[in-house]
Chain A
Amino acid sequence: NAGVTQTPKFRVLKTGQSMTLLCAQDMNHEYMYWYRQDPGMGLRLIHYSVGEGTTAKGEVPDGYNVSRLKKQNFLLGLESAAPSQTSVYFCASRGQGNSPLHFGNGTRLTVT
């Protein structure tokens, strides 16, 4: 049982480049989330989805876009990367009701 899988694990981008982070879960979860974690700032919610075909903005959505075309996948896109987007990105998912949140192992992104 893979749980929540994030790809890639590491990436280095130059300012202005674009990329997509993929999150896949095999637990048939309704809710999926993208967080970023920065020293001194904690975990901050970027975007989330409450079901297939839906997305919503979190606390820090600017500079990011997301898509949830399939229930098991939640994609996070950076159209024009900036050094301020250097961070560790975590994907998480949970089921309905009092279901705990499950996290992936993270993607470490550096933008130079």
Chain B
Amino acid sequence: KQEVTQIPAALSVPEGENLVLNCSFTDSAIYNLQWFRQDPGKGLTSLLLIQSSQREQTSGRLNASLDKSSGRSTLYIAASQPGDSATYLCAPIGAAGNKLTFGGGTRVLVKP
């Protein structure tokens, strides 16, 4: 059974600092891995999807890396802004390509 851990559970930084969010998973036989953002009271919004054959994926200020063999992914957010305040979740999808398992998330607060 896939288990996903996200550390830290919460993070508070001043505006402008870079954010580093960690995700680890126990079963390295994954199809791909997705990072999401969730605002309070809202659904999840997809940020990045990294295919199992990729090492990294970038979108604007966001960069996600994947080390499948060690069961780790990291989301980097450059030059954080107050609008980046949200909960960030990672979810590897199993090798069969059908089920995603979510981590508990990292709650981020960026202070102006």
Please indicate the chain A residues that have their CB under 8 angstroms from the CB of B44 in the complex: 90, 92, 101, 103
Q: Would A101 and B100 count as touching, CB distance under 8 A?
A: yes
* CB < 8 Å neighbour of A103 from B32, B43, B97, B103: B43
How many chain-B residues does the 8 Å CB contact rule pick out?
A: 22
Query: How many Å lie between the Cα of A48 and that of B99 in the bound state?
Result: 8
Q: Interface SS of chain B: helix, strand, loop or mixed?
A: strand
How many chain-A residues does the 8 Å CB contact rule pick out?
A: 22
- Asked if B66 is at the interface (CB within 8 A of a chain A CB), the reply is no
- Asked if A105 is at the interface (CB within 8 A of a chain B CB), the reply is yes
Chain B min CB distance to A76 (Å): 15
Q: Would A101 and B34 count as touching, CB distance under 8 A?
A: yes
CB under 8 Å from chain A, chain B span 68-112: 89, 91, 97-105
Q: Would A98 and B104 count as touching, CB distance under 8 A?
A: no
